[in-house]
Amino acid sequence: MDHKVVVENLVKIFGKNPSRGVELLQQGVAKDEILSSAKLTIGVADVSFHVDAGEIFVVMGLSGSGKSTLLRCLNRLHEPTAGKIVIDGEDITAMTRPALREFRRTKIGMVFQNFALYPNRTILDNVAFGLEIRGVEKDARQKIAQETIELVGLDGWENQYPSELSGGMQQRVGLARALALDPDILLMDEPFSALDPLIRKEMQEELLRLQEKMNKTIIFITHDLDEALSLGDRIAIMKDGWVVQLGTAEEILNNPEDEYVVKFTEDVDRSKILIAESVMHKPLAVALLEKDGVNVILRKIDKHGLSSILVVDGTHRVVGGLHPEDLVRAKKEGLSIKDIPVHEVSQTLLSTPLRSLLEMSSDTAFPLAVVDEDQKLVGVIARSHMLAALARRGVI
């Protein structure tokens, strides 16, 4: 499938005669030098990346690194100086004004750091704003706005004014205003930076909850690595207008490209990166291949209320898993455990990131077996554990 958003060699330079700056950039002149010698500010310097449909793409970097400028080029609030932006196969940079307006009205929504709500409009009219601009009839747009307000958990507030709401609630309105248009793409410029940490966490969870339902393509800006890690499918790190590294959270943490990225990753709480070890449980009971008979195993299952049991050999290596139904049948028919099917069980190492585990465990009735370097069973992860752990950390 084609990428939803493709950005190729995007450059944005502020100042008079910016194309001069493009040449300087190509010659490898640094941002500071271009500013002092040519009086040009590099907003975004030659950036290329793509974003897939349904992905949350996080752009991270220090203040002034060009994040906002990059984002504003995507809906052409800033006119790119050079380069190409292709969304759904259409070149945004070549659009005429009317086409661009239509594109903004239907395809791409934006959420702002300081909410940018209209103080003289009610919550309902704020959320309906985009639809009003699109020319949707009053009744229809208010109906959609009302539904969107409910979606973000603000029902009952529709007739208040923004100043009557807390920061977190105001940003829910900001989010609802963008969502009311049902755009494919959401641009979010540090939407939670102005909120205090607890509310911020809550909003991140809210966003992920909504994203699960709506599956938008989200380009999310933050200067906070924790936020980037909990939201981003992939993360781009910007510095002086350049993207210095792009990859998944794990890739960036394990292989920081340069000093700048290292600085970012240093103060991250590593426990926030969930790995198998941090969510596994001790197995309540296992079936010993050489020792246990059918009756013993059934008793173990019964005693601990298990829905299946892992079988290990004499060296505590995982052989597979048994279904209780098979055991019950074996008991009735007087068979030994050697005669009933032992199912294959997925195994994983202690250090495997949870992200990869989610995919592994979804199609099996058995828990994941977590093993150490010697392949000895050290823990199990039921799918419910995984979800609970993720939920506890506010990842879902």
Partner 1 sequence: MDGFRIPIGQHVDSLVDGLQEHVGFVFDWINDVVYATVMGIESVLLGIPFIVFVVITALIAWKLAGKGVALFAIIGFLLVNNIGLWQPAMQTLSLVLTAEIITLLVGLPLGIIIAKHKGLDNSVRPVLDLMQTMPAFVYLIPAVMFFSLGRVPGVMATIIFSMPPMIRLTSLGIKQVPNDLVEAGHAFGCTPYQLLVKVELPHALTTIMAGVNQSIMLALSMVVIAAMIGAGGLGSMVLRGVQRVNIGLGFESGLAVVILAIFLDRITQGLGKKKQEF
Ligand X SMILES: Nc1ncnc2c1ncn2[C@@H]1O[C@H](COP(=O)(O)OP(=O)(O)O)[C@@H](O)[C@H]1O
Which 74-133 positions form the footprint of partner 1 (CB under 8 A)?
75, 77, 100-105, 109-110, 112, 114, 116, 118-121, 129-130, 132-133
User: Using CA atoms, how far apart are residues 10 and 14, in angstroms rounded to an integer?
Assistant: 13
Helix, strand, or coil here: 395? coil
Contact criterion met (CB below 8 Å) for 258 and 270: no
Contact criterion met (CB below 8 Å) for 343 and 366: yes
User: Using CA atoms, how far apart are residues 276 and 28, in angstroms rounded to an integer?
Assistant: 44
Residue 65 within binding range of ligand X, rule CB under 6 A: yes
Taking the complex as a whole, the smallest distance from the CB of residue 193 to ligand X amounts, in Å, to 10
Taking the complex as a whole, the smallest distance from the CB of residue 312 to ligand X amounts, in Å, to 53
Q: Which residue in 18, 21, 43, 191 binds ligand X (CB under 6 A)?
A: 43
Task: Name the residue nearer to partner 1 (CB basis): 31 or 141.
Answer: 141
Task: Name the residue nearer to ligand X (CB basis): 41 or 142.
Answer: 41
Q: Which residue blocks in 184-288 are alpha helix, DSSP H?
A: 197-214, 225-231, 249-254, 259-266, 276-279
H/E run at residue 384: helix 383-392
Partner touching 200 among ligand X, partner 1, Mg ion, none, CB below 5 to 8 Å by kind? none
Helix, strand, or coil here: 152? coil
For residue 368, what are the β-bridge partners?
381
Question: Which among 230, 223, 279, 229 has a CA at the least distance from the CA of 254?
Answer: 229
Taking the complex as a whole, the smallest distance from the CB of residue 163 to partner 1 amounts, in Å, to 7
Partner touching 119 among Mg ion, partner 1, ligand X, none, CB below 5 to 8 Å by kind? partner 1
Question: Which among 11, 58, 380, 18 has a CA at the least distance from the CA of 207?
Answer: 58
Residue 14 within binding range of partner 1, rule CB under 8 A: no
Residue 69 within binding range of Mg ion, rule CB under 5 A: no
Residue 192 within binding range of partner 1, rule CB under 8 A: no
Partner touching 118 among partner 1, ligand X, Mg ion, none, CB below 5 to 8 Å by kind? partner 1
Task: Name the residue nearer to Mg ion (CB basis): 43 or 379.
Answer: 43
Residue 61 within binding range of ligand X, rule CB under 6 A: yes
Cβ neighbours, 10 Å, residue 275: 21
> Tokens in use for 304?
């601990």
Residues in contact with ligand X by CB under 6 A are 14, 41, 43, 61, 63-69
The contact set with partner 1 (CB under 8 A) reads 75, 77, 100-105, 109-110, 112, 114, 116, 118-121, 129-130, 132-134, 161-163, 177, 181, 187
